[in-house]
């Protein structure tokens, strides 16, 4: 895919906090930088490579070898306050064989950057490793490698290798397109993309599976485009039967990420329980001082069924939580998507006003809200009703006209039970849907074009 994927003018991408557009390099880089972990200045890393080691200079995706140590297969890489120092193992008391202080450009790798493997602190990676100083005290551990080799370590982490090959090929193109559409996403930290769900989960050599690598190889260099630009192919495990648009969930219109009913997505249901005590604690820890939670109301939903506004009522006030915070606040592994309903609750919630039917002289009955109405009591005094329940006196005795609550209490429930469907943000490709489509005989490009509206693949 090197230099072949095409010219980039603007890339539509999604930062960890939301969608943004940035200027990209004219060519897709030959190598990308994947953020793995962080450490502190003074940290040291033991590394080994059967091909020996080399020092490389990184320049906008191109690399140049500047020094080679083919006879040294085991080294220690140590970061001090000024330099990155390279020592043969057991020779740290001797002068380093190489030192450099420009941590944005230089890195250590196998002498064979195409096929070589470097093991660092017990984990193996293709390509090389860069120790980037992001501050006076912080080191970022970064894997520099060929984008295709990077995908070897992504696919098995993002999709089960048991899925049909065409589904895996669709995932390979989606993951490649996402990576190419997000070059420099984390440039402030010294790398392009990270190894977590913020970007794409990446596990290095240890996560590689032959079937997934075949899917990468069989789609080598294939990228999805929309309006002539690479597509950030967002995907989730299951969309609950309805693809959500980026505008409804993230607030930004993207042409290929539109609302659509998914005819192939299999059913995936889940439940989540929260006690009153737990809910109150969650709200307090999130900075909402509303006291003990007494009610919860779904205020708004998308066309696809995702909750975009959730109101909590407490003894000391109310809090309305928007779509960007609901799952992160309640726990994204517990509340697996925004597509849920409140199926059980012991919370009283905010009651609706008491109502009654009033019969006029014409004989017809009209529903009236009693709260706020002026009435005349038995002594002839005018009284304004302000409560949500009213006691009425009749010849046969007293009866209560009670307003209805938003959620009713149920035996055995302390708090709420959410019943949901889908898993993830429900935007773009459903991985379970891709599996079902592949099983039904669809090809990888047909799968991708079903989930990303108006794209081309080349």
Q: Are 103 and 134 in contact (CB under 8 A)?
A: no
Q: How confident is the model at residue 402 (pLDDT cuts 50, 70, 90)?
A: very low
Mean pLDDT across the stretch 341-357? 66
Supply the pLDDT for residue 437: 98
Supply the pLDDT for residue 23: 31
Q: Give SS3 for 19.
A: strand
Supply the pLDDT for residue 228: 86
Nearest to 403 by CA among 416, 390, 385: 390
Supply the pLDDT for residue 345: 87
- Whole-number Cα distances in Å, 135 to 40, 52, 139: 9, 30, 7
pLDDT of residue 357 exceeding 60, the answer is no
Nearest to 173 by CA among 184, 192, 159: 159
Q: How many CB atoms lie within 10 A of CB 294?
A: 19
Domain locations in the chain as residue ranges: 32-145, 150-265+430-457, 269-350+410-421, 355-402
What are the start-end ranges of the E strands in 328-455?
Answer: 340-345, 355-359, 365-369, 374-376, 382-384, 389-394, 397-402, 416-421, 429-430
Q: Are 202 and 158 in contact (CB under 8 A)?
A: no
- Judged by phi (left if over 0) then psi (alpha if -120 to 50, else beta), residue 412 lies in left
Mean pLDDT across the stretch 35-45? 91
% of the chain at pLDDT higher than 70: 79
- How far apart CA 85 and CA 93 sit, in angstroms, is 12
Q: Could you tell me which residues come within 8 angstroms of residue 113 by beta carbon, excluding any fewer than 6 positions away? A: 54, 56, 63, 65, 127, 128, 145, 146
Exposure string of 64-95, with b = 16+ CB inside 10 Å and e = fewer, is: eeeeebeebbbbbbbbeeeebbbbbeeeeeee
% of the chain at pLDDT higher than 90: 69
pLDDT of residue 107 exceeding 90, the answer is yes
């Amino acid at each position: 895919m090197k230099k072949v994927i095409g010219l980039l003018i603007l890339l539509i991408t999604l930062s960890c906090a939301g969608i943004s557009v940035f200027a990209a390099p004219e060519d897709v880089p030959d190598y990308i930088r994947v953020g793995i972990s962080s450490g502190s200045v003074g940290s040291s890393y033991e590394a080994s490579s059967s091909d020996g080691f080399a020092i490389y200079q990184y320049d906008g995706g191109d690399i140049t070898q500047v020094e080679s140590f083919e006879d040294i297969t085991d080294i220690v890489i140590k970061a001090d306050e000024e330099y990155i120092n390279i020592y043969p193992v057991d020779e740290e008391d001797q002068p380093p064989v190489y030192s450099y202080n420009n941590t944005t450009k230089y890195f250590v790798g196998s002498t064979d950057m195409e096929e070589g493997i470097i093991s660092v602190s017990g984990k193996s990676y293709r390509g090389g490793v860069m120790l980037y100083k992001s501050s006076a005290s912080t080191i970022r551990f970064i894997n520099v490698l060929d984008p295709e080799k990077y995908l070897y370590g992504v696919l098995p982490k993002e999709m089960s290798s048991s899925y049909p090959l065409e589904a895996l090929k669709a995932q390979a193109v989606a993951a490649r397109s996402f990576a190419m559409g997000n070059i420099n996403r984390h440039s402030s930290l010294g790398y392009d993309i990270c190894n977590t769900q913020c970007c794409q989960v990446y596990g290095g050599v240890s996560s590689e599976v032959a079937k997934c690598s075949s899917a990468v190889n069989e789609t080598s260099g294939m990228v999805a485009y929309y309006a002539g630009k690479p597509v950030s192919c967002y995907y989730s495990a299951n969309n609950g039967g309805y693809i959500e648009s980026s505008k409804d969930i993230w607030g930004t219109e993207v042409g290929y990420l539109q609302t659509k009913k998914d005819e192939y997505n299999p059913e995936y249901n889940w439940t989540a329980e929260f006690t009153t005590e737990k809910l109150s604690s969650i709200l307090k820890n999130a900075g909402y001082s509303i006291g003990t939670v007494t009610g919860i109301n779904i205020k708004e939903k998308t066309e696809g069924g995702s909750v975009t506004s959730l109101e909590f009522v407490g003894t000391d006030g109310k809090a309305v939580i928007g779509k960007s915070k609901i799952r992160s606040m309640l726990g994204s592994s517990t509340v697996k998507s925004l597509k849920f309903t409140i199926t059980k609750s012991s919370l009283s919630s905010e009651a609706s006003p008491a109502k009654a039917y009033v019969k006029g002289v014409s004989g017809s009955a009209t529903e009236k809200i009693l709260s706020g109405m002026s009435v005349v009591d038995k002594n002839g005094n005018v009284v304004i009703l302000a409560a949500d329940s009213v006691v009425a006196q009749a010849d046969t005795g007293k009866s209560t006209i009670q307003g209805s609550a938003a959620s009713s209490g149920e035996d055995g429930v302390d708090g709420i039970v959410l019943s949901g469907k889908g898993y993830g943000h429900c935007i773009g490709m459903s991985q379970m849907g891709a599996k079902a489509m592949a099983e039904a005989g669809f090809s990888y490009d047909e799968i991708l074009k079903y989930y990303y509206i108006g794209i081309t693949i080349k």
